[in-house]
A and B are shown apart, each in its own frame.
Chain A
Amino acid sequence: MDMRDPGSAAVTRGRILIDDVVKIYDPEGAAVMAVDHCSLEIEAGEICMIVGPSGCGKTTLLNAIAGFHEITSGRIEMDGETLCSAEKPKAEPGPDRIVVFQNGALFPWKTNLENVIFGPLMQGKLSRRDAIGKGRAMMADAGVSSVEHNYPGEVSSGMRRRVEIVRALMNDPKALLLDEPYRALDSLTKSVMHEALLEIYYKNKVTIFFITHDLEEAIFLGHKVAIMTTRPCRPKKVLTVDIPHPRDYGVLTSKRFRELIEETNDAVHEEAIKAFQAGEKEG
């Protein structure tokens, strides 16, 4: 792990182990296999990017880690503790693994600040005053303090995503699970958001499990990129990105970045074609 920046050596929590996980929807009836004997190790404090075509079953994997869905067999561990296994198929959702959703899930009826302090207040970890203090400090850090008293519906989508990540980090999670969070953003906002995410990450080292279908995004952000096969989903190729962190947008034009893209593009393209053909057959 030498190519990671020295700061990440301090991260000791948030190691996720996915061991031979299988997920079959409707096992008695249609028996659709979404995840097929999938194994993957994510180191503590690592940004692991999961790349695959839409509908390949990568979200199923995220839902299993988050505790929204059961798994059929296999095991998912975090820091040596079993989250779910064949005996206990559904993990307990909790503030140690927080999901940032595809379409954003800030509560529209709460102001941004109220959203940010929601976690610690619900868990009874902080008093309201302390939570507000911490929330304001973290919002200032992420450059969103000017929208504290606005409702999420009033600010730009890029701003909302940042507030949502702050809301997650307020709980000192071991891992952030991001489900294509920048999918709906235009490419300009997206590039700003990538740098913002890295900036936040360098300040609060957590494990990041990031789902995307965008290979460039994956290689730009990740320490590790897992390219998944299309349904059923399984790692086809796991790539270690040897571009040192901290990174900025200059990386996109670097030679190594282009080489990595070329190296993996075929694998991704192949799966996209498979997914497309499967879609055609179903339709």
Chain B
Amino acid sequence: MQIAQIAAPGDATPVLRETIPFQNASDALLRRVAALGRSRRYATGERIYNAGDSADDIYVVVSGRVEHVFGPGISAQESLKRMDRGGVFGWAGLLLGQTRRFASATALEPSEILCIATEDLVKALESEPLEGSTVMELFATMIQRDFTVPALLAKVRRLSGTPLTEEMSSLNLTLYRVSLWLKSPRPYLMLIGFALFLGAWYLFVEVWKLPRFREMPGITTVVKEWLNPAPTYGLSIYTEEYYKHIAVSIWRVTQAFLLATLLGVPFGLFLGWSRKFKEYVFPVFELLRPIPVLAWVPLAIVMFIATESAVIYLAFLASFFATALNSMLGVESIDESYLRAADCLGANRWQVFRHVIVPGALPFIFTGLQISIGVSWFSLVAAEMVSGQYGLGYVINTSYMMVRYPTIVIGMVTLGVVGYATSAMVRVAGDYMMEWRVRELALAER
């Protein structure tokens, strides 16, 4: 009804530059987008689109004036908006899950409008993932601020090719969570908790000298020793020895944990996947699993001549059971209908394993890995206390025998910190591999 192709593509770059979403775009991108545009003229009072229409095009006002009115049911604060040159409307198609117009738009005076097909625009933005996501983000901001659409609705689509639009990237999500966390009372309660604990330690041991605490190393003694360039008992942050112990322990845990993961995950997956395999193996597995790691120490020493392998073996053992058991439970937790759907869609047994069993079990597997890294440290220290020449468990045990009490505490605190760090690393890896879950949970939390 209103097709009048007048402007040659390329003429549109100046007006695009005046819009909010494209204000900072590169010339190259602007030219690409401008080339997608078609120019149309509308007479005074002419309807450009209605609420409920399919949201195919995005419009930019080149000249004239346009009235934009939200349809009923859209909870924008201002339902009416008038736009001059540089105004952008008809953006509903860029929003998550929207294919229809929210609003109607009418020309208030003879107007020239630039129309760009939404899908073409998205493709152009996808070809420049970095810039594209900035433009999309600006669209979101504009929709929220200028059109007063609530943030909940003003969620823009994700471009393919980019892992995530800037708004939802995992880094931003993390930063967002950190800022939320800082605003909540939680970090301050945590600090108070620490202060109470350390204060109690100081008072019990050094001020009141309570019975049972009298022989303990006090907090000031420990901190002094820890930060001492010339430590009384030979171990502080200035001695090379300290880092060697840490490195040895970490290296042992890493080996044990990787081995347990490499063997435990497939083993657990097969346990859950094949009933027959489970019938053979699971009873033996369940009988061995409750045996404490310390009970394995003598056999481990007999089995492995080298102490190093014996220590790693012990750390591996507990990890392996935790990982395997959780992987198996992960497979068993998968909803039957996913397996049936895969059958219907013609997947063979191996494809079902690869595309349904493994990703479906992943949340449980990562729970298992969290437990696994914890018990790995636990059994490592136990093993190091029994045999070994380096490592934090060895430090604690020898310090006890040599009556170097502050060093024991240094070893303990170091274990706490290093253990926490490794377990956080496993968690981050899990979030990275299960983006779908992180996003689902983030939405559920909202």
Residues of A bordering B, CB below 8 Å: 66-68, 93-95, 97-99, 101-103, 105, 107-111, 118-119, 122-123, 140, 143-151, 153-156, 159, 167-168, 171
Contacts and interface: CB of A to CB of B under 8 A. Distances in A.
A155 to B, nearest CB: 5
Query: Which residue of A95, A108, A110 has the most chain B CB atoms within 10 A of its CB atom?
Result: A108
Contacts, number: 111
Contacts of B335: 103, 105
Nearest to A106: B341
B337 A145 contact: no
A188 B311 CA distance: 63
A186 to B, nearest CB: 15
Interface stretch (B93-101, B229-237, B313-321): B93-101
Given A143-B99, A146-B157, A94 B348 contact: no
Interface in B329-346: 335, 337-338, 340-346
Interface string B146-170: 0000000000011110000000000
B73 to A, nearest CB: 11
B346 A147 contact: no
A94 to B, nearest CB: 6
Query: Which residue of A101, A119, A122, A146 has the most chain B CB atoms within 10 A of its CB atom?
Result: A146
Contacts of B94: 146
Interface in B391-424: none
B352 to A, nearest CB: 9
B345 A153 contact: no
23 contacts: A68-B340, A99-B344, A102-B337, A107-B356, A107-B359, A107-B360, A109-B360, A109-B436, A110-B355, A110-B436, A118-B347, A118-B355, A122-B345, A123-B346, A146-B96, A147-B96, A149-B157, A149-B158, A150-B158, A151-B435, A153-B439, A167-B345, A171-B345
Those 4 A-B pairs whose CB atoms lie nearest each other, nearest first? A153-B440, A119-B345, A105-B341, A109-B359
Contacts of A147: 96-97, 157
Nearest to B343: A93
A163 to B, nearest CB: 11
B416 to A, nearest CB: 34
Given A149-B158, A171-B345, A109 B340 contact: no
Interface of B: 54, 93-99, 119, 157-160, 335, 337-338, 340-348, 351, 355-356, 359-360, 362, 434-437, 439-440, 443
A66 B96 CA distance: 34
B99 A144 contact: yes
Contacts of A105: 335, 337-338, 340-341
Nearest to A151: B436
Contact of A94 (B341, B346, B356): B346
B96 A154 contact: yes
Contacts of A146: 93-99, 157
Given A94-B346, A122-B346, A145 B340 contact: no
Contacts of A153: 436-437, 439-440, 443
Contact of A154 (B99, B160, B360, B440): B440
A269 to B, nearest CB: 31
B96 A155 contact: yes
B379 to A, nearest CB: 32
A103 B337 contact: yes
Nearest to B351: A122
Contacts of B54: 143
Nearest to A136: B119
B359 A95 contact: no
B123 to A, nearest CB: 11
A95 B345 contact: yes
Contacts of A101: 337, 340-341
Contacts of A171: 345-346
Given A103-B337, A107-B355, A109-B362, A66 B344 contact: yes
A154 B158 CA distance: 11
Contacts of A108: 436-437, 440
A118 B345 contact: yes
Query: Which residue of B54, B119, B342, B344 has the most chain A CB atoms within 10 A of its CB atom?
Result: B344
A89 B119 CA distance: 49
B185 to A, nearest CB: 30
A246 to B, nearest CB: 19
A151 B354 CA distance: 19
A148 B440 CA distance: 16
